[in-house]
Amino acid sequence: MSVTPLHPEPPPSQPPQVAAGATERTHGQPPRVAFFVTVDWYFHHHYRGLAAAVQAAGYRVAVITGVEDHGERLRACGFEVIPFAISRQGMHPLRELAAVWRLYRLLRRLRPELLHCIAQKPVLYGALAARLAGTPALIAALPGFGWLFSARVWQARLGRRLVLLGYRLLLRRPGAQVLVQNRTDQAELLALAGVRAHLIPGSGVDLERFVPRLPAPGPVTVMLASRLLWDKGVGELVAAARLLRARGLAFRCCLLGAPDAGNPASVSADELLAWQAEGAIEWWGRREDMPAVLAQAHIACLPSYYREGIPKFLLEGAACGLPLVTTDLPGCRDVVEPGGNGLLVPPRDAPALAAALATLIADPDLRARLGRRSRAIAEARFGEDRLAAEVLALYRQLYPHRYPHRAAAGRRTGGSVGPSSTEPATGTGDADGRERDPASRP
C-alpha cells in the first residue's frame, strides 16, 4: 500500500513573492480578496469551493499560504498563490514576530481590499498585520477552536489565555467580522473574549460530487477520514474495533489520512502500521478521491473530542447518504439528529462507540433510513454554494463601495451569490446568537 505523508513545512526564512502588477490597489480593477491560511492542502480541501464562488462574484482571489503539494492545483483554479511559510505550532517570539512583519510587508505591497484569515494563528497574525497595513476589511474565520481548547496540559491552558487576549485586542474593531461554525464556539467567544461572531455552519460540501450510491457489496465498512490525531478519536475507534472483533462481528474498519507532524496530538505512522498488522484496522493513507472512497463505506464515523467547527468528513458522509456515528460534542453533534441520521456517543468511550457501531452493522434497514435523512440534511443546510452566499453577503457589508456589481451565475445549484442575496438561507444565527429561521433546522 502506498501512503503519502504530509510534507514538512517550508523554511520560515523564504520571503513571500508577489506577482507582477499585484503591488497596488488599482481603480477600475475588480477588488482583491486575499485568503491567508497556513498550508495549501487544507485550503484546497476545505475552501476551494468558497474561493471559486468569490471569484465568480467578480473578485480577484489571492491565496497566501505555505505551499506543500497543492499550489499548482490552486493556480489551475485561477487563484494567485503567494507562498508564505508559517509554522502552525511554533512559538519562538522572534520568529513569530518576524512572520507578522513579513505579512505586514506583503499586505502593504499586495493591498487587498479584504483579508480573509482562516484558523487561529492566521487570524491573530493576519488581524495585527492588516491593522498595521491599513487593509480596509477583515474576515477572521475560526473553523473550530482546535487543540488549544481541547487539550488538558498546562501549555494548552496558557495558550488559550494568550489566544483569547489576542482575540479581545484585535478582533473588536470596525471593518472586522468574525466567523465561527457552531453555536458553542459563538457563545464562548462572546463570553471569554467579548467578541461577537457570525455563525456559518462549516465550509460546506459539494452536493454534486458527493452523492449517494448503492451500498457497496461485501462486509459493512466503517470509515474515518481526517487528520490522524488522537483528539479525533482514532484510538477510541481502534479500541472499539477490537471489541467488536472479539464478539465475532464481520466488518471492515478503515482509517484515511496521514500523521500530522505539525500537531502534538498526531498518531505516528508506526502505530498505524502496527494496528494494521494486528488486523484491527486498515490504513489507506491520504486520499484525494473522496467521493469514490466514500462509495465503499457503509458508516461514517468520527469519534472526535477535538474542538471541531463543523467536521468536513461528516458533511461529506452525510452528502453521500451515509449514517453518521460521532461524539456528543460541539461541531460533531451539529451535523447529527440522534436517531434521525446518526448516533451520538460520549467522548473517549470505546465501549459506547462499539455498541453504536454494532447497532448499525447489524441493521441494514436502519443504515438506509439514517442515510436518507443524512442526505436531506446536507441538502437543506450544508451545500457549499448556500454557505458561500452567506460569506459574500458579509463581504458586501464590510466593503460595500468596492463590491463587484456582477452576480455569480449560481454555480450548479441555481442560487445567486451576487448582490441580491441579502439573507442567508441556512437558518444560521446572528452575532447575538438568535436564530434567524428556526424552521430550517432539521
Q: What is the pLDDT of residues 130-148, one digit of tens each?
A: 999 999 999 999 998 876 7
pLDDT score of 14: 42
Look up cell 458522509; give the residue. Answer: 317
Q: Which residues pair with 176 in a beta bridge?
A: 138
Counting other chains too, the contacts that 411-417 makes at CB distance below 8 Å and 24 or more residues apart are 411/52, 411/53, 411/56, 411/385, 412/207, 412/208, 412/385, 413/207, 413/383, 413/385, 413/386, 415/385, 415/386, 415/389, 416/389, 417/53, 417/56, 417/57, 417/385, 417/388, 417/389, 417/392
Written as nine digits, the cell of 389 is 452566499
Q: What is the pLDDT of residues 248-287, one digit of tens each?
A: 999 999 999 998 877 778 999 999 999 999 999 999 999 9
pLDDT score of 425: 33
Residue 367 predicted with pLDDT over 90: yes
pLDDT score of 151: 66
Q: What is the pLDDT of residues 370-405, one digit of tens each?
A: 999 999 999 999 999 999 999 999 999 887 655 565
Instruction: Give me the percent of the chain exceeding a pLDDT of 70.
Output: 82
For residues 333 and 182, what is the distance between their CA atoms, to the nearest angstrom?
10
Residue 184 predicted with pLDDT over 60: yes
Counting other chains too, the contacts that 92-97 makes at CB distance below 8 Å and 24 or more residues apart are 95/12, 96/125
Domains defined along the chain, listed by start? 9-204+384-442 (3.40.50.2000), 220-381 (3.40.50.2000)
Q: What is the pLDDT of residues 288-327, one digit of tens each?
A: 899 999 999 999 999 999 889 999 999 999 999 999 999 9
pLDDT score of 403: 55
For the ranges 214-228, 246-260, 405-419, the lowest mean pLDDT is seen at 405-419
Q: What is the pLDDT of residues 74-89, one digit of tens each?
A: 999 999 999 999 876 6
